[in-house]
Chain A
Amino acid sequence: MGFFLEALFAGLMSGVLYSLVALGFVLIFKTSGVFNFAQGAMVLFAALAMARFAEWLPQWLGFESALLANIVAFLIAGAIMCVVAWLVELLVLRHLVNQSDATLLMATLGVAYFLDGLGQSGFGSGIYTIDVGMPKDPIFVLESVFPGGILLNKEDLIATVIATALVGLLTLFFMKTTTGRALRAVADDHQAAQSIGIPLNRIWVIVWCVAGGVALVAGVIWGSKLGVQFSLSTVALRALPVIILGGLTSIPGAIVGGLIIGVGEKLSELYLGPLIGGGIEIWFAYVLALVFLLFRPQGLFGEKIIDRV
Chain B
Amino acid sequence: MFYRENGQLKTSYQADQQIFPIAQDRWAIIGLVLFAIVAVPLLANEYTFSAILIPFLILSLAALGVNILVGYCGQISMGSGAFMAVGAYAAYNTLVRIDGMPLLLALLSGGFFATVVGMFFGIPSLRVKGLYLAVATLAAQFLSDWAFLRVPWFTNNSTSGSVMVSELQMFSWRIDTAVEKYLFCLGFLIVFAVLAKNLVRSAIGREWMAVRDMDVAAAVIGIRITYAKLSAFAVSSFIIGVAGALWGFVHLGAWEPAAFGLDRSFQLLFIVIIGGMGSIMGSFFGAAFIVILPIVLSQTLPALGNLVGFEVSTAAISHAEFMIFGALIVWFLIVEPHGLAKLWSTGKQKLRLWPFPH
Contacts and interface: CB of A to CB of B under 8 A. Distances in A.
B216 A117 contact: no
B326 A237 contact: no
A81 B36 CA distance: 49
B327 interface: yes
B351 interface: no
A287 B26 CA distance: 47
Contacts of A114: 322-323, 326-327, 330
A241 B131 CA distance: 12
Contacts of A293: 124, 127-128, 132, 136
A241 B135 contact: yes
B292 to A, nearest CB: 18
Nearest to A234: B262
A171 interface: no
Interface string A259-299: 00000000000000000011110110011011001100101
Interface stretch (A45-53, A118-126, A141-149, A207-215): A118-126
A114 B328 CA distance: 9
Contacts of A307: 215-216
Contacts of B143: 283, 286-287
Interface stretch (B47-55, B248-256, B313-321): B313-321
Given A95-B334, A117-B322, A248-B131, A106 B329 contact: yes
A113 B274 CA distance: 15
Chain B interface size band reads 35 or more
B132 A237 contact: no
A244 B78 CA distance: 15
A280 B151 CA distance: 12
B161 interface: no
- For B131, B136, B262, B324, which residue has the most chain A Cβ atoms within 10 angstroms? B131
A112 B326 contact: yes
Contacts of B319: 117-118, 120-121, 125
B146 A282 contact: yes
Contact of A110 (B128, B151, B328): B328
Among B135, B150, B151, B216, the most chain A Cβ lie within 10 Å of the Cβ of B135
Interface of A: 35, 91-92, 95-96, 99, 101-103, 105-107, 109-118, 120-121, 125, 237, 240-241, 243-244, 248, 277-280, 282-283, 286-287, 289-290, 293-294, 297, 299, 307-309
10 contacts: A92-B334, A110-B325, A110-B326, A113-B326, A114-B323, A117-B323, A244-B135, A283-B146, A289-B136, A307-B215
Interface of B: 74, 76, 123-124, 127-128, 130-132, 134-136, 138-139, 142-143, 145-146, 149-151, 214-217, 220, 262, 266, 269, 273, 315-316, 319-330, 333-334, 337
